[in-house]
């Protein structure tokens, strides 16, 4: 008797890693944390028109201990940086950070002493989303890309180290070096 007759409805093979990645990416709960104008676009993703609930993510949590995604939506002031770090530290592991908009990613047009020039100075960032402000569709796209990243992430990996290595490789890339040469 062939295996098809023994198990007529078939069976599925997978690994714990793939199952864990699938579960993690499908159950992200963002922290309720908006800093400036970008936060309005973030809030809009919850509306019926954009419907972040399609990805099971409409439950923005008021408590960091119930959240595993920090969407840094807006510019980070020097005064706010320690608060942001505290919220991040209180979030459960594994956790992820999305820098939304140019201000959160690099300080944007606020090149001054009051604004942190990129939230990666305060917390490790998994994904950067450009734009001022990025539209809700762009945020949803970035979230889907983050889902892919989470799915690919091996179990037990040191996320901070992966981010550090990626940043090091990006800084050493010919494009970055060329840009630095042009800027000099
Ligand atoms: S990127 Fe633009 S919309 Fe977002 S916080 Fe900065 S100024 Fe506001």
For 105-117, the pLDDT digits (tens) are 999 999 999 999 9
Asked if the model's pLDDT at residue 182 lies above 80, the reply is no
- 171 labeled binding residue: no
Angle, vertex CA 23, rays to CA 19 and CA 26, nearest 5: 135
Three-class secondary structure of residue 24 per DSSP: helix
Tell me the average pLDDT across 53-63: 92
According to the model, what pLDDT value does residue 177 have?
Answer: 65
Asked if the model's pLDDT at residue 135 lies above 70, the reply is yes
Q: Which atom of ligand 1 is nearest to the CA of 35?
A: 5
Write the pLDDT tens digit of every residue in 120-132: 999 999 999 999 9
Compute the mean pLDDT over every residue in the chain, rounded to the nearest whole number: 90
Residue 8 CA to residue 27 CA, distance in Å, equals 32
Q: Which residue has the higher pLDDT, 164 or 65?
A: 65
Tell me the average pLDDT across 56-65: 92
Q: Which atom of ligand 1 is nearest to the CA of 38?
A: 4
Ligand 1: distance of its center to the CA of 47 in Å?
20
Q: Which atom of ligand 1 is nearest to the CA of 41?
A: 3
The values of phi and psi at residue 51, to 5°, are 55, 65
According to the model, what pLDDT value does residue 66 have?
Answer: 94
The values of phi and psi at residue 135, to 5°, are -75, 165
The pLDDT confidence band at residue 52, using thresholds 50, 70 and 90, is: very high
Ligand 1: distance of its center to the CA of 94 in Å?
28
Residue 14 CA to residue 25 CA, distance in Å, equals 16
* Range with lowest mean pLDDT among 13-27, 64-78, 161-175: 161-175
Contact yes or no for 81/116 (Cβ under 8 A): yes
Task: Return the number of other C-beta atoms located less than 10 Å from residue 180's C-beta.
Answer: 10
According to the model, what pLDDT value does residue 7 have?
Answer: 79
Q: Where are the alpha helices (DSSP H) in the chain?
A: 3-6, 16-25, 38-44, 81-90, 101-106, 136-152, 159-171, 174-183
- 132 labeled binding residue: yes
Ligand 1: distance of its center to the CA of 74 in Å?
5
Closest residue to atom 6 of ligand 1, CA basis: 103
Angle, vertex CA 98, rays to CA 100 and CA 93, nearest 5: 155
**Whole-angstrom Cα Rg for the chain:** 19
H or E element that contains 123: none
Tell me the average pLDDT across 129-144: 96
CB under 6 Å to ligand 1: residues? 36-38, 74-75, 101-103, 108, 132-133
Write the pLDDT tens digit of every residue in 8-18: 787 788 899 99
Write the pLDDT tens digit of every residue in 17-42: 999 999 999 989 999 889 999 999 99
- 103 labeled binding residue: yes
Ligand 1: distance of its center to the CA of 98 in Å?
14
Ligand 1: distance of its center to the CA of 75 in Å?
7
Residue 153 CB partners (closer than 8 Å, separation 6+): 21, 159, 162
């Amino acid at each position: 008797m062939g295996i098809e007759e023994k198990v007529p409805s078939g069976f599925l093979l997978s690994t714990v890693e793939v199952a864990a990645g699938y579960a993690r990416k499908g159950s992200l709960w963002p922290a309720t944390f908006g800093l400036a104008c970008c936060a309005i676009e973030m809030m809009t993703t919850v509306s019926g028109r954009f419907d972040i609930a399609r990805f099971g993510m409409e439950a923005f949590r008021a408590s960091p201990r119930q959240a595993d995604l920090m969407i840094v939506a807006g510019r980070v002031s020097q005064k706010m940086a320690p608060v942001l770090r505290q919220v991040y530290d209180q979030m459960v592991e594994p956790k992820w950070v999305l820098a939304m908009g140019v201000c959160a990613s690099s300080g944007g047009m606020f090149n001054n002493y009051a604004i942190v020039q990129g939230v990666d100075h305060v917390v490790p960032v998994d994904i950067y989303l450009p734009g001022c402000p990025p539209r809700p569709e762009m945020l949803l796209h970035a979230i889907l890309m983050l889902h892919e990243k989470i799915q690919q992430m091996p179990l037990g990996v040191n996320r901070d180290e992966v981010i550090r290595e990626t940043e090091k490789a990006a800084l050493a890339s010919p494009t970055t070096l060329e840009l630095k040469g042009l800027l000099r």
